[in-house]
Amino acid sequence: MGFKYESLYTNTSYAEHHKWIKHNCQPNYRKNVSPDPTKSCGPYKPTNDKDKLAYSDVAITDLPEKFSHKNAYHRNHDTIGMIVVDFENNISSGTSTNGANHKIPGFKSCIYSDYNFIIVQSEIEDEYVSQSFKQF
């Protein structure tokens, strides 16, 4: 079951990767890090505490306030996720990203759900946000 383990490198992707490194890892999507991501390949560190990974627990009742369309803007386009609850309270969930070239390693969108718990992890405004929701 699942995908066969195989290398995803091609001659083209290998050449593109080395060209990217030769040009100081440009383009990349890093912000608020040191050294300057427009001139260096890193390794990078956050420039302040606000930009470090943030994890929090949120109650289901907080969802409308925390995750509303008011927080959307033109850069919230590359990660999508859905949680669906059917009439028998079965939960199904899934996420996807756009696969941008040179995306920050480790930035991902993922979700886990079962009868008792939903965990969502995604990128929002270039930061990780992890939320845990108890089933309502």
Among residues 56, 51, 34, the alpha carbon closest in space to that of 43 is found at 34
Spot the catalytic one: 12, 47, 61, 79: 79
H-type helices in 23-76, by residue range?
A: 63-66
Catalytic residue check, 79: yes
What the block records as the tokens of 66 is 């925390």
Whole-angstrom Cα distance, residue 70 to residue 73?
A: 8
Q: CA angle at residue 49 from 32 to 21, to 5 degrees?
A: 35
What the block records as the tokens of 38 is 């427009």
Return the active site residues: 79
